[in-house]
Amino acid sequence: RSMSSVSIPPPECMLRPLEVPLRYLFGPGPSNVPPRVLAAGGRPIIGHLQPEMYEIMSDIKKGIQYAFQTENNMTISVSGSGHAAMECAVFNVVEPGESVLITVNGIWGERVAEIAERMGANVHRLLKAPGEYYTNKEIEQAIEKHKPVLFFLAHGESSAGLCHPVDGFGDICRKHNCLFLVDTVASLGAAPIFMDKQKIDILYTGSQKALNAPPGTAPISFNDRACNKMFNRKTKPVSYFFDMTHLSNYWGCDGSPTRAYHHTGPVSGFFALRESLAILAERGLEESWRKHKEVAAYLYKGLEDLGLKLFIPDKELRLPSVTTISIPEGYDWREMLTYIMKNHHMEMTGGLGPSVGMVMRIGLMGYNCEKTNADKALHALADALKNCKKSKP
Ligand code: PMP
CA distance 82 to 266: 14
CB of 109 closer than 6 A to ligand 1?
A: no
CA distance 75 to 212: 20
N- to C-terminal Cα separation, the chain: 66
CA distance 93 to 351: 31
CB of 83 closer than 6 A to ligand 1?
A: yes
Position in ligand 1 atom list of the atom nearest CA 218: 15
For position 391, what pLDDT does the model report? 63
For position 3, what pLDDT does the model report? 85
> What is the rounded average pLDDT of the residues 274-284?
98
* Matching CATH number, 35-282, of 3.40.50.720, 3.40.640.10, 1.10.460.10, 3.40.50.1100: 3.40.640.10
> What is the rounded average pLDDT of the residues 302-329?
98
Q: How confident is the model at residue 295 (pLDDT cuts 50, 70, 90)?
A: very high
Domain ranges of the chain: 24-30+285-387, 35-282
For position 390, what pLDDT does the model report? 83
- 255 Rama sector, left if φ>0, alpha if ψ -120 to 50, beta otherwise: left
Per CATH, which fold does 24-30+285-387 belong to?
Aspartate Aminotransferase, domain 1 (3.90.1150)
| Segment 19-43, tens digit of pLDDT | 999 999 999 999 999 999 999 999 9
Position in ligand 1 atom list of the atom nearest CA 322: 5
Question: Which residues lie across from 100 on neighbouring strands?
Answer: 123, 150
Q: How confident is the model at residue 362 (pLDDT cuts 50, 70, 90)?
A: very high
Question: Which residues lie across from 182 on neighbouring strands?
Answer: 153, 203
Closest CA to 363 of 150, 183, 205, 210: 210
CB of 87 closer than 6 A to ligand 1?
A: no
For position 2, what pLDDT does the model report? 76
CB of 80 closer than 6 A to ligand 1?
A: no
Residue 393: pLDDT above 60?
Answer: no
**Burial state string for 347-358 with b = 16 or more CB within 10 A and e = fewer than 16:** bbbbbbebbeeb
Whether the Cβ atoms of residue 115 and residue 90 lie closer than 8 Å to each other: yes
Whether the Cβ atoms of residue 208 and residue 29 lie closer than 8 Å to each other: yes
Position in ligand 1 atom list of the atom nearest CA 154: 3
| Segment 233-267, tens digit of pLDDT | 999 999 999 999 999 999 999 999 999 999 999 99
With a CB cutoff of 8 Å and minimum separation 6, the contacts of 74 are 221, 222, 223, 226, 227, 244, 248, 253
- Mean residue pLDDT across the chain: 97
Strand spans (E) along the chain:
24-25, 74-79, 99-104, 122-127, 150-154, 156-157, 162-163, 179-183, 202-204, 217-222, 322-326, 346-347, 349-350, 359-363
Residue 190: pLDDT above 50?
Answer: yes
Residue 225's Cα: distance from chain center in Å? 23
CA distance 100 to 89: 12
CA distance 186 to 207: 10
Name the strands in the sheet holding 359-363, side by side, starting at the edge strand that comes first in the sequence.
322-326, 359-363, 349-350
| Segment 100-140, tens digit of pLDDT | 999 999 999 999 999 999 999 999 999 999 999 999 999 99
Q: Is 361 annotated as a binding residue?
A: yes
ipTM tops 0.90: yes
Residue 346: pLDDT above 60?
Answer: yes
Written as one letter, the residue type at 102 is: I
H/E stretch holding 282: helix 267-283
Whether the Cβ atoms of residue 179 and residue 204 lie closer than 8 Å to each other: no
CB of 28 closer than 6 A to ligand 1?
A: yes
Question: Which residues lie across from 103 on neighbouring strands?
Answer: 126
Q: Cα-atom radius of gyration of the chain, to the nearest Å?
A: 22
